[in-house]
Amino acid sequence: MTLALYVPVASPVHRAPAGVKLLALIAVSVVVFAVPTLPVVGGVLVAVLLTGLGIARLPAALLGRQVRAVVWWLLALAVVTGVVGGVASAALVVLRLLTLVLAAAVVTATTRVTELVAVVEWLCSPLRVVGVRPARIGLLIAMTLRFIPLVAERAERIRDAQAARGGAVRGIRAWTTTAVPLLVQVLQMAHTTAEALDARGADDDAPPARPPGRGRR
């Protein structure tokens, strides 16, 4: 369940800072929309493929999976654009989408989740002014990842219990008879988790005072 899309390889692309890779991704998306000509978009696509397959040595199957996820879009866009604007513009639209999806896939596959979380925290740091504490994002993510298997497991258990009592197994009725007890249970669970965290000093109103010289790490 916590299987990330990161592919560990020792390559310069993997070692590059996450912020740089995200900036490159933004640059790619700006270029393919700002300069919509076949040589430019095609050139960017080749550059993305060289970076992903050549330098970062990602498996071609991985990039293939990302392309398969948008294959319906590619077909639909190619047909509609082709009918309206001819083959050249259809090719442009398809190449543009391919470039964007592959560039994003390369960034995702070469950057650890923790590095991207650090970028998110950094991006949120200006929000300190309005009272947001960026360090909370790490806590939120940790809680969510813990809650996912818990919610799935409880849902399963409630469904089994309803089925054992002859309750509905599918249809709208099955959804509501499962969802209501499930939500009440997990809301209570979240409440308990919050109380436990507060008891350990996570309360927003009382930031834990750290003794001098013993900061975190």
Partner 1 sequence: MKTRDLAYVALFAAIVAVLGLVPAIQVGPVPITAQTLGVMLAGSVLGARRGFLALLLFLVLVAVGLPLLASGSGGLSVFVGPSAGYLYSWPIGAFVVGLITELTWTRYNLAWALLANVVGGILVVYAIGIPFVAVYADAVTLRQSFTGSFVFLPGDAVKAVIASLVAVQVRRAYPVIERPRRAAAVR
Residues between 66 and 95 with contacts to partner 1, criterion CB under 8 A: 66, 69-70, 72-73, 76-77, 80-81, 83-85, 89, 93
Between 20 and 205, CB nearer to partner 1: 205
Residue numbers 105-134 binding partner 1 by CB under 8 A = 105, 107-109, 111, 113, 116-117, 120
Residue numbers 33-72 binding partner 1 by CB under 8 A = 66, 69-70, 72
Of these, 38, 46, 88, 197, which contacts partner 1 (CB under 8 A)?
197
Given CA atoms 136, 142, 145, 147 in this order, what sign does their dihedral have? negative
Between 36 and 42, CB nearer to partner 1: 36
Q: How far apart are CA 176 and CA 165, in angstroms?
A: 15
Of these, 9, 24, 29, 168, which contacts partner 1 (CB under 8 A)?
29
